[in-house]
Amino acid sequence: MKKIVSILLVCMLALTAFAGCTSEEPEKVKETTEEKATNTDKGEEKAEQEAKEPTEIRFQIVWDVNSGRGQNIQTVVDTFNESQNDVTVSLITGTSDDKQLITSLLSDDVPEVIQMGVKNTKTIGAEGLLKELNDFEDTYKDIFYPELIEFFKYDGALYGAPWIGHTIELVYNEDLLKEAGLERAPETWDEVMEYSQIIEEKTDATGLGIAGMQHNDAIWMSTPIIMSYGGKFIDVVDGKEVMAINTPEGIKGLEMYQAFASMYPGAAEKNGGNVMEDFRNQKIAMEFQGPWGVTDIWKNGNPFVVGATLMPAGPAGRFVDGGPYALSIPATLEGEKYDAALTFMNYLQDTTAQEMIMNGEYDENTDAYYPYRVPMRKDMANSKYFQENPQFLVYVKGLEFVIDSFPTPGFNQVANEVITVELNKLASGATTPEEAAKVIEEKGNEILRAFYGD
Amino acid sequence: MKSMISKLKSHGWGYLFLLPALLIMVLFNFYPIIWSFIVSFNKTKAIEIKQAGLFDIPGKFVALDNYMQVLKNDLFIKSIGNTAYFAIIFIPLTLILSLLLAVYINKKFRGVNFFRTVLFIPYIISVISSSLIFLALFNSESGFINAVLKQFNIDGPNWLSNEWLAMPVIAIMSIWRRVGYFMLMYLAGLQNIPTSLYEVAEIDGATPFQRFRYIVVPLLSNITIVIFVLLLRDVLTVFQEVYVMTGGGPGNSTVTVPFLIYNEAFNYLRYGTAAAMSYILFMITVVVVIFQNKFTKKKHSTR
């Protein structure tokens, strides 16, 4: 038996030697020892890479992954997954609701990259639940408008990387303007007022639709007007947040808000959605909206020609409300997953991925694609989509004048409990700008003191 | 001690079976109650809650500061007033309507079961769905209510945008949802009243109203007390209706205490003051229950 085993082993060795001699290429035979060692290392590395599973991470967006928006983002994610083997991203449905985001971040099973709105990023970041991205601030400043970075900073720490978003501009019904004999869009608030009066006289519509309901919409619609008259709701004095609306400039801003609201029937009961509906139904000729304000008209069969122009300017300049979305990483994320999250975030901020967003969401009713947000990069003007659809450039241009209507976590409570109430009263004519400014200042400061425990 | 041990020996298996339920109760009821009580004396950040162990106390101790802040908060005082306004509309109307409907469907007539079912259905509809239905009904432009009013040449108001009307609309919706359930409770009580009592009263010449006043109302008083307590609980926890229908507006006129607690905890992330508000609400509830118990006992003893 031993003999048979020995013969078999010898035969196998001989076969192996033959095989080695016959199958080898001439160059390989001449390999030096050093080359052999290098090649062996490379081979091991390759084998290691092949053997190593890609790092799997999840990307939570604020929309449903099955929605048109979700599907658009899915194509971006798919392109990323196909472009490399190190990281695999799966897209998951999330929420813009800060309550749900906090609950998710407090749990141990949290997505690695999370899309966040402005308010959430600062509020949740201030609670210590998000990774600080301060090291990347300079890089982001090269790509994005510096003002935009400030949106995601609180107390010196950066909690989000800019991605996509919107600015709010003046969207107008070109047909109604022409019917009223107006050849171009208004550029100042005085012109908006003048246009509104002409439109009301010469057409069945009214001029500017503005929200006055006790709702967030009233804040972002009023803040650009107030700031363009030199007023502001909140300021930081000696490192402390204080209310700053009760000034002649602030009161003038509130006056203008009230004047516009008084020209729009039922303004006190309207929110942003109602205003949009009235614009679509040609009850009003102008509104403040993001890119969706334009595509909403397209989606509904183009009942009129819609245009978008920069937010009108006031004596103190032009101010545009912005709603950028950040990409954030949970504070607890470490190691491979953290690196993978950064790699993916870099990809999303790249021009290719940014432009893919402009392809927009698919609408099955019209069998077409509609943009819903714009890229946040400042160098997108020459990209293909904007060359073909320059009407959307105004939403990127607006980033130059962008303001954050909900600038601090403490402001959120003041906005909810005091400012929206007073704006509602202004819209219904139940109070005067002077009285509103006084109440906002007094009650707002009380809330801020309590909020920060001063 | 001996008797306790002997009890344990004789009922050991029983206690063992109770143990899982008891543990769940402790974990999900008693532990959060105690934990939130401790938090009400602390200033706490979300990350401190995440990092805290099961028996750790997150945040910084601030003694009664959170309670003081809550009591100084104008909106908290307003929310108590709003809740009381809701209660004044909601409790008496629900009690009266439930009782009247119970008396009505206690009679034998064709289709009575259909009516009972129809009246009970709102109770099984979720609050969110009910709220959305009422939002549509009371819409100032396209709502059914204003359309009906228009038939009588009345311009309906903006129900949910009016400071005084918004809360009654929420109360009407809450009544609509609950009335069928409490009607069934009253119906069970009504069916336990001996028919001989009505017959005797009828012989004595009592009118239907007198029979209702002197037989039905007193004999259902125990059920009324139970329903009152349940309604009180509903008043003190009214949240979803407000959240969906008005978001607390207009002019904070529909902000209730639970709504404010929710905002404080989840919108402004101030867990300490939110917990303090909860315990103040708890104390108010205790006071109300003590008064209600005293009132009920007095009423029973004078009978």
Q: What value of ipTM does the predicted structure carry?
A: 0.74
A313 Cβ contact list (under 8 Å, min separation 6): A187, A188, A189, A228
Among A13, A89, A28, CA closest to A56: A89
Nearest beta carbon to residue A424 from set B49, B50, B251: B251
Among A294, A286, A270, CA closest to A189: A286
Among B14, B193, B189, B171, CA closest to B87: B171
A interface with B, Cβ–Cβ below 8 Å: 98-99, 102, 105-106, 123-124, 127-129, 213-215, 266, 268-269, 331-332, 409, 412-413, 416-417, 420-421, 424-425, 443, 446, 450-451, 453
pLDDT of residue A26: 37
Task: Label residue A83 exposed, middle or buried (CB < 10 Å: 0-12, 13-18, 19+).
Answer: exposed
Question: Is B10 an 8 Å CB contact of chain A?
Answer: no
DSSP A199-264: HHHHSSSEEE----SSSHHHHHHHHHHHHHTT--SEEEETTEEEE---SHHHHHHHHHHHHHHHTS
Query: Which tokens hold the place of A110?
Result: 């949290």
Most confident of A21-25, A279-283, B200-204: A279-283
Calpha distance B134→B169 (Å, rounded): 8
Calpha distance A196→B253 (Å, rounded): 33
Instruction: Mean pLDDT check: name the lowest of A15-24, A429-438, B10-19.
Output: A15-24
Cross-chain Cβ contact B249/A420 below 8 Å: yes
Q: Give the helix, strand, coil percentages of chain B, each rounded to 5.
A: 75, 0, 25
pLDDT, tens only, B42-53? 998 888 887 887
For residue A23, pLDDT beyond 70: no
B185 Cβ contact list (under 8 Å, min separation 6): B98, B223, B226, B227
Per DSSP bridges, beta strands A374-375 and A164-165 are antiparallel
pLDDT, tens only, A182-204? 999 999 999 999 999 999 999 99
Is the CB of residue A224 less than 8 Å from the CB of residue A311? yes
If you measure CA to CA, which chain B residue comes closest to A105?
B50
Q: What is the pTM of this model?
A: 0.79
Question: Is B43 an 8 Å CB contact of chain A?
Answer: yes
pLDDT, tens only, A107-155? 878 899 999 998 889 888 988 899 999 999 999 999 988 888 989 998 8
3-state secondary structure of B238: coil
Calpha distance B78→B72 (Å, rounded): 11
The count of other CB atoms within 10 Å of the CB of residue A356 is 18
For residue A18, pLDDT beyond 70: no
**Which of B78, B161, B163, B271 to probe by mutation at the A interface, max A CB count within 10 Å?**
B161
If you measure CA to CA, which chain B residue comes closest to A269?
B161
B167 Cβ contact list (under 8 Å, min separation 6): B82, B85, B86, B89, B253, B254
If you measure CA to CA, which chain B residue comes closest to A412?
B268
Residues making up chain B, counted from first to last: 303
- Average pLDDT, integer, range B274-284: 93
Task: Label residue B154 exposed, middle or buried (CB < 10 Å: 0-12, 13-18, 19+).
Answer: exposed
Calpha distance B37→B196 (Å, rounded): 54
CA torsion through residues A148, A191, A223, B140, sign:
negative
